[in-house]
A = this chain, B = another copy of it.
């Protein structure tokens, strides 16, 4: 989720978490990261989001944030353990960066520069460290958003050719989303309507909880609602969202 006003994610997370067992098979851990200014709250659990007390907290404590990345894990590489739960977090250029991956990378064993090293044993964390090492190698300081986006579009295909590489990446100011096989987004803005979850019998009337200037983008592998129009990414497409809007770059 990427927004122009701090927004809670209780509605979307409730539908999403249901896929961790009831309407999906992503039961090997979960995680969610909320940016709050330059800080991050990162909750991870090796339990399924449907059972985890940590997920229960997230559903009941409406943390407001402009950038949230959530993940429910179906283990492909690396055992079920805390160090293998997404999102992963590192500091680059004096900011925290958060990353989550949907997919599977085969034979992706890059020689890692030693600046960012994986702690766990997933292909995903290896890919995240590789991305950060490459960005840091190209830019000693944070570049402007267009340069950063171009760099990610150059680095990503070399990883994606190893398999499926849908990912989300954020530093709390922008959210980068790359589609390898499946990714859709929606921008909710004035006039707001009612949305109905696909995975739970739950509706929310956004007009009752928003102001006319609010704008919220939600990006997800499978659309979360049944009565809204989601836009599918093209395979290989990398979009960047700022303040609830996909950027033309």
Contacts and interface: CB of A to CB of B under 8 A. Distances in A.
A57 interface: yes
Contacts of A155: none
**Number of this chain's copies in the complex:** 2
Interface residues of A, number: 36
Contacts of A84: 39
B81 A120 contact: no
Q: Which of A81, A94, A116 has the most CB of B within 10 A?
A: A94
Contact of A120 (B39, B57, B116): B39
Contacts of A96: 119
Interface string A41-83: 1111110000001100100110000000000000000000111
Interface of A: 36-46, 53-54, 57, 60-61, 81-85, 89-91, 93-96, 114-120, 140
23 contacts: A36-B81, A36-B82, A36-B83, A37-B82, A39-B44, A39-B83, A39-B84, A39-B85, A39-B119, A40-B82, A40-B83, A41-B44, A53-B57, A53-B60, A53-B61, A54-B57, A57-B57, A91-B116, A91-B117, A93-B117, A94-B119, A95-B119, A96-B119
Given A39-B44, A39-B119, 11 more contacts: A36-B83, A37-B81, A39-B46, A39-B81, A39-B84, A53-B60, A54-B61, A89-B89, A93-B117, A95-B119, A96-B119
